[in-house]
Amino acid sequence: MAHHLFAVLVRATATVTTIDAHLAKPMRLVARAHRIDGYRLGGQVTGAWDPDYDPAADPNNWHPCSACGGTTRVDGAECRACVDAVEAGRRPGTVVPWSYTDWARYPGDIVALPRLLHPGWRFPPGRTPVAWVDLAGVVWLGTDEAILTGTDTGAVPPRLLGVFHDLVAGRRDPDPTAPPAGRRHIPADRSVPWRHPGRPRRPRVRFEPADWSVAVVDAHS
């Protein structure tokens, strides 16, 4: 199973509790193309854009040892399953699940878009996304080979810079919605020719980066 880091645009109101609802629509575009089998926030790339974060050091990932029930003792002897807890900085009698599927979701995997738009922003080396996803579509960033070969420097890819420029300039609509259907008005006097006014245009809304965040998504295929 291959895992890929996707950057997915979501509303700034998204939290680790509500993120699934925010990801559903944009990620459906990728799933429909049969490019991935599934996805989740963080997953194998939990904390990818926060070099100071270690899932094993997060107390939210410390679970009571199943071998000793958290007592640190088995048949009167020291429990070998959680013997490293204190040395590793964990509470005694705790372990860290080996599978990322049991890790707690990390709030740092939802990053405010203005951080990425800052001229000095760089991804941690090897953690550049392979794709950008929003409701305007999917943009493949051409970073796969560099990530696989270990030559990814973390510089923002040119294609992603193009996406950022289009967003800020209003040339990319990340949340297209159909205008409300208006009720057709027919004059009471049928002798007066009636002309359809045409489909009303949706008022153009200026894109505000502060209204958006970017989710670190582990997409697997």
pLDDT tens column, 4-41: 999 999 999 999 999 999 999 999 988 877 678 899 99
What pLDDT sits at residue 178? 46
- pTM, 2 dp: 0.84
What pLDDT sits at residue 195? 55
Q: What is the mean pLDDT of residues 30-53?
A: 90
What pLDDT sits at residue 83? 96
Q: What is the mean pLDDT of residues 44-51?
A: 96
Range with lowest mean pLDDT among 59-68, 170-179, 209-218: 170-179
For the chain, percent of residues with pLDDT exceeding 90: 78
Give the integer Cα–Cα distance in Å for 92 and 65: 9
Higher pLDDT residue, 92 or 206?
A: 92
Predicted confidence (pLDDT) per residue in 154-201, tens digit: 999 999 999 999 999 999 999 876 444 445 555 555 555 555 555 555
In degrees, to the nearest 5, what angle opens at C-alpha 180 toward C-alphas 174 and 183? Answer: 165
Closest by alpha carbon to 7, among 125, 115, 127, 131?
A: 131
Instruction: Kindly write down the DSSP assignment for every residue of the chain, as one continuous string.
Output: --EEEEEEEEETT--TTTHHHHHHHHHHHHHHTT--SEEEESGGGTTTT-TT--GGG-GGG-EE-TTTTTSSEETTEE-SSSTTTTTTTPPTTEE--SSGGGSPPPGGGEEEHHHHHSTT--PPTT---SEEEETTEEEE-S-HHHHHHT----PPPHHHHHHHHHHHHT---SS--PPPPPPPP--S-TTS------PPPPPP----GGGEEEEEEEEE-
What pLDDT sits at residue 198? 59
Cβ atoms of 49 and 108 within 8 Å: the answer is yes
**How many residues would you count in the chain?**
221
What pLDDT sits at residue 33? 72
